[in-house]
């Protein structure tokens, strides 16, 4: 198939912002690869928490990006723009996209593409880009985790948290890993590399537990997506010179902060997002991720965990499944070629 405009494709569309039942399987214009881009025949994509936030009307795509949901895809290059030299039709690729992943075709920047490792299926590859790059960026590049440090990772069995655990095990095998999670996940998290699992329902003051585990030192890096409600306990859990990296605000955006204590302890609070970063910055992140982290995924040390696979047409059910909670790993949408 060519890169010509005018063709249609199947995609997941929205009637309006709202609950999962606003999603439906319908026809949409097939995208065209512009300068520096490729067109990908999507074989699989995944469901990420930002997809739900966007579906609810609270996370619009960056200017110029598709308003179709979906932040990562795995598939085969269908067509390339004339100025693209390193990729050709037939290449098996996985990549971040600014939007448009829930569809049979997606356009992507050529400088964000990664080759799917030999032997990896499309469903597994569809789990790599959004959560693994998010975890690598924020734990290692932003948070500066070093081998031997202590990390506190919130998120239990979610995609970013399981990716962070596996990447820490592969890249910082001597790091001490503390995880907060809901009941019933302790054994699985320890298999992935967690040394201590705190049941946040039974132990709402996780800071006291972190202090006990670390002999009062605290964590060097904290990865948090909860936001306001966790700010105070996170700061109490943070070691002197530690870094709190906030990647989500599920519990709200405003909280009080003891600035004097933060200054005395030389602590840092860093806000971080991936989707809205400038394209050259994202390309640099992908290059470093490909060089440092992808080998550990390719050789099996940090293989993504696929919780459940839905057909693309059942995206609404996949969203409902994620929102029900209790998942462990990633939810994938399979887009079988027709």
Model confidence pLDDT, tens digit, residues 15-62: 999 999 999 999 999 999 999 999 999 999 999 999 999 999 999 999
By three-state DSSP, how is residue 23 classified? strand
Under a CB-based contact definition with an 8 Å cutoff, are residues 131 and 55 in contact? no
pTM above 0.75, yes or no: yes
CA 312 – CA 126 distance, rounded (Å): 13
CA 40 – CA 90 distance, rounded (Å): 9
Q: Mean pLDDT over residues 91-120, rounded?
A: 97
Return the axis-axis angle of helices 279-292 and 129-136, rounded to nearest 10°: 90
Does residue 197 have a pLDDT over 80?
A: yes
Q: What is the pLDDT of residue 18?
A: 97
Does residue 165 have a pLDDT over 70?
A: yes
Does residue 4 have a pLDDT over 70?
A: no
**Model confidence band, residue 202 (pLDDT cutoffs 50, 70, 90):** confident
CB-neighbour burial class of residue 295 (10 A; exposed 0-12, middle 13-18, buried 19+): middle
Counting residues of the chain whose pLDDT is more than 90, the rounded percentage is 91
Does residue 216 have a pLDDT over 70?
A: yes
CA 203 – CA 209 distance, rounded (Å): 8
- Mean residue pLDDT across the chain: 95
Q: What is the pLDDT of residue 338?
A: 52
Q: Which domains does the chain have, with CATH numbers?
A: 8-128+304-334 (3.90.180.10), 134-271 (3.40.50.720)
């Amino acid at each position: 198939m060519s890169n010509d405009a005018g063709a249609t494709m199947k995609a997941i569309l929205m009637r309006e912002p709202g609950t999962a039942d606003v999603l439906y399987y319908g026809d949409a214009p097939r995208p065209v690869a512009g300068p520096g881009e490729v067109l990908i025949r999507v074989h699989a994509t995944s469901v990420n928490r930002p997809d739900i936030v966007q579906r609810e009307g609270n996370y619009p795509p960056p200017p110029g990006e598709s308003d179709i949901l979906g932040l990562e895809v795995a598939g085969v290059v269908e067509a390339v723009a004339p100025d693209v030299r390193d990729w050709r039709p037939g290449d098996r690729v996985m990549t971040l996209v600014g939007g448009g992943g829930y569809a049979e075709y997606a356009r992507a920047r050529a400088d964000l593409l990664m080759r799917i490792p030999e032997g990896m299926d499309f469903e597994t590859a569809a789990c790599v880009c959004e959560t693994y790059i998010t975890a690598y960026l924020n734990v290692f590049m932003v948070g500066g985790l070093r081998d031997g440090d202590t990390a506190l990772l919130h998120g239990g069995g979610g995609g970013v948290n399981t990716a962070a655990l596996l990447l820490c095990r592969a890249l910082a095998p001597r790091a001490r890993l503390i995880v907060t999670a809901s009941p019933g996940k302790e054994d699985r998290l320890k298999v992935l590399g967690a040394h201590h699992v705190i049941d946040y329902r039974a132990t709402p003051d996780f800071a006291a537990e972190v202090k006990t585990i670390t002999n009062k030192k605290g964590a060097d890096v904290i990865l948090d997506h909860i936001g306001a409600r966790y700010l105070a306990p996170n700061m109490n859990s943070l070691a002197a010179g530690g870094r709190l990296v906030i990647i989500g605000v599920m519990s709200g955006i405003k909280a009080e902060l003891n600035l004097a204590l933060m200054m005395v302890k030389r602590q840092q609070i860093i806000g971080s997002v991936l989707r809205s970063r400038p394209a050259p910055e994202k390309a640099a992140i992908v290059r470093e991720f490909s060089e440092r982290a992808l080998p550990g995924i390719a050789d099996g040390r940090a293989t993504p965990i696929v919780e459940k696979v839905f057909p693309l047409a059942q995206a609404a059910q996949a969203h409902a499944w994620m929102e029900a909670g209790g998942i462990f790993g990633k939810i994938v949408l399979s887009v079988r070629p027709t």
